[in-house]
């Protein structure tokens, strides 16, 4: 009998994405409300995706998504 497949952790899959080269990317916080008070440069920076640098954490995230 075949092994059962691991399920994708859906909360992790919604928060992170994995690039073609295998980097784990995350979004910045602080773009949902009260954006009128925030500087335009800050709002522009918050739109961008950032790489998760901590390798043990990135490995765990990849494990949770790619199942």
The CATH number assigned to the domain holding 28 equals 4.10.410.60
Tokens 């994995």: give the residue. 18
Domain count of the fold of the chain:
1
State the pTM of this model: 0.79
Per the domain annotation, does 2 fall within a domain? no
Per the domain annotation, does 23 fall within a domain? yes
Per the domain annotation, does 33 fall within a domain? yes
pLDDT tens-digit series, residues 26-58 = 999 999 999 999 999 999 999 999 999 998 999
What is d(CA 38, CA 42) in angstroms, rounded to the nearest whole number? Answer: 7
Neighbours of 55 (CB within 10 A): 9
For 13, half-sphere exposure in the C-beta direction (CA atoms, 13 angstrom radius) is: 8
Per the domain annotation, does 29 fall within a domain? yes
What is d(CA 24, CA 59) in angstroms, rounded to the nearest whole number? Answer: 9
For residue 20, the enclosing domain spans 10-65
| 3-state DSSP assignment of residue 5 | coil
Per the domain annotation, does 57 fall within a domain? yes
Question: What percent of the chain clears pLDDT 90, i.e. is strictly above it?
Answer: 85
């Amino acid at each position: 009998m075949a092994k059962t497949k691991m399920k994708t952790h859906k909360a992790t899959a919604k928060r992170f994405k994995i690039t073609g080269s295998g980097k784990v990317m995350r979004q910045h916080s602080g773009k949902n409300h009260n954006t009128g008070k925030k500087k335009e440069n800050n709002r522009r920076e918050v739109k961008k995706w950032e790489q998760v640098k901590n390798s043990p954490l990135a490995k765990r995230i990849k494990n949770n998504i790619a199942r």
